[in-house]
Amino acid sequence: MLTSWAQLNADIAGCTKCGISAGINHKVPGQGDPDARLMVIGEGPGAQEDRQGLAFVGAAGQLLTQMLKAIGLSREEVFIGNIVKCRPPGNRVPTDGEAANCLPYLRAQTALIRPQAILLLGATALKHILGPELRITKARGQFVLSKGVYILPTFHPAALLRDPGKKKDAWEDLKRLRDILSGLPEKEKNSRDHPN
């Protein structure tokens, strides 16, 4: 049964399924437009996100904002979230068990938003959404159509900061995303309650 935003956010806030929730400052459920045409999914919160309780607010988040702006979107027009809602210790990659505990929340968010497209940022998002056998270097830039939703993997902004040589490929991916979105009909607004 589909939950409400209020119930979902309460469930996320109260979650203690895995140990990482004990060592954090804030849960980071994600934020943005509950009627978004585009969902952006990354790996998990970093130090800045843990401090503020918001997804993608550090250096990688600033680059993400620029990336979205380059294809005519603002952060307020999309919904930005992560595979896990708590910062793993030392910014390590979430374990499969941690991801499995959190994925039902992400699926519920997706069901409430009903996006037309999903942008997967990096290897962890790719692995847990499209499959562990996939590699970001091979899968990036290739749309997967799943249940009527266009899913596009690309490099994580943090990877682009570490290796600026990847920015050209990421820009090509974003242009393909822009073209897909521009060819889709306007999305009907959801009648469900909103998170804010």
- DSSP assignment of 150-164 equals EEEEE--HHHHHH-G
Q: Which structural domain, as residue segments, surrounds residue 45?
A: 5-183
16 found inside a domain: yes
Residue 195 maps to a domain: no
Query: What is the per-residue pLDDT for 139?
Result: 97
Number of domains into which the chain is organized:
1
Alpha carbons 168 and 174: distance in angstroms, whole number = 10
**Cα Rg, the chain, nearest whole Å:** 16
Compute how many other C-beta atoms are within 10 angstroms of the C-beta atom of residue 134.
Answer: 18
Beta-carbon count within 10 A of 109 CB: 23
**What's the rounded Cα separation, in Å, for the pair 49 and 65?**
15
Residue 72 lies in a domain: yes
Does residue 117 lie in a domain region? yes
Q: What pLDDT does 193 receive?
A: 59
Let me know if residue 188 belongs to a domain. no
What's the pLDDT score for residue 192?
55
Is residue 196 one of the residues assigned to a domain?
no
CB 86 within 8 A of CB 20: yes
Prediction pTM value = 0.95
Tell me what pLDDT residue 3 has.
83
Q: Is residue 192 included in any domain, yes or no?
A: no
Strands 117-121, 38-42: pairing kind? parallel
Residue 190 within any structural domain of the chain: no
Instruction: Output the domain CATH number for residue 33.
Output: 3.40.470.10
How many other CB atoms are found less than 10 A from the CB of residue 49? 25
Cβ neighbours, 10 Å, residue 36: 21
Split the chain (196 residues) into runs of 10 and give each run's mean pLDDT: 87 93 94 97 96 96 97 97 96 95 97 97 98 96 96 98 97 97 85 56
